[in-house]
Amino acid sequence: MYDVQSKDGSEWFYTEKVKDHFFNPQNLIKTQEEAIKYSEEADGVGIEGSPACGDMMKMWIKVENNKIKECKWQTFGCASAIASTSMFSVIITENGGMDIEKALEIKPQDISSRLDGLPTRKFHCSVLADKALRAAINDYYEKTGQINKIKKDKIKIIDKILKITDQDIEEAVLDGVRDFEGLQKRTKIGIQDKSCIQEAKQLLRFYVEKYFAEEK
């Protein structure tokens, strides 16, 4: 295991696999020239995240006979983000490439498991790779005229006054929130719009179960 100290004084423990994929990332595009070249050749390109708020991911895929034959990527982020995307790119291209439909079924937990685990506070990094792939596949579907297959996340506003969305709740859970008190402290949800509290609690339970069922 490899550990570092977080800003709040707690320790993050990284497995040997995380460390290996961080120092020796697979399928990484390293130069701008490579990125330009691959953008011209790729069948689909996806971008997720924002450099303004932390991690950002860009992913390129090549598809043949409905299989993802190649997956290249760049990321601006931490060791977990780099390791997660590196492992993810391996998972979807190994053994001749994974069927698109099967690749879309990969969960962040699958990436974490192949890395022998990620610190809970860094679990959101595996979600970033998953969402970047979905964006790249949607781009591929659009370019090939398979519009009916495009799947896009619909954002729902939960707190009508503060405009807090279901994605805000999801991100809070991925960042360590586990109860409504913590969610309200982080987002202020339900303080003014009390009619949304029940739905917010249900979504909180849903996302905790989705990503961290193993903690129970």
Average pLDDT of the chain to the nearest whole number: 86
Selected from 3.50.30.30, 1.10.3720.10, 1.10.730.10, 1.10.10.1100, the CATH number assigned to the domain covering 157-215 reads 1.10.10.1100
The answer to whether domain 2-149 and domain 157-215 are alike in fold is no
What is the per-residue pLDDT across 184-195, written as a single tens digit (0 to 9) for each?
A: 999 999 999 999
Does the domain spanning 2-149 belong to CATH 3.90.1010.10? yes
Catalytic residue among 53, 71, 78, 196: 53
DSSP conformation letters of the chain: -EEEE-TTS-EEEE-HHHHHHHHS-SSB--SHHHHHHHHHH-SEEEEEE-TTTS-EEEEEEEEETTEEEEEEEEEES-HHHHHHHHHHHHHHHGGG-EEHHHHTT--HHHHHHHTT---GGGTHHHHHHHHHHHHHHHHHHHHTT-GGG---PPP-EEETTTTEEHHHHHHHHHTT--SHHHHHHHH-TTSS-GGGHHHHHHHHHHHHHHHHGGG-
Catalytic residue among 71, 78, 125, 196: 125
- Per domain, the residue ranges of the chain are 2-149, 157-215
78 is catalytic: no
pTM of the model: 0.73
What confidence score (pLDDT) does residue 52 get? Answer: 53
53 is catalytic: yes
What is the per-residue pLDDT across 152-170, written as a single tens digit (0 to 9) for each?
A: 777 899 999 999 999 899 9
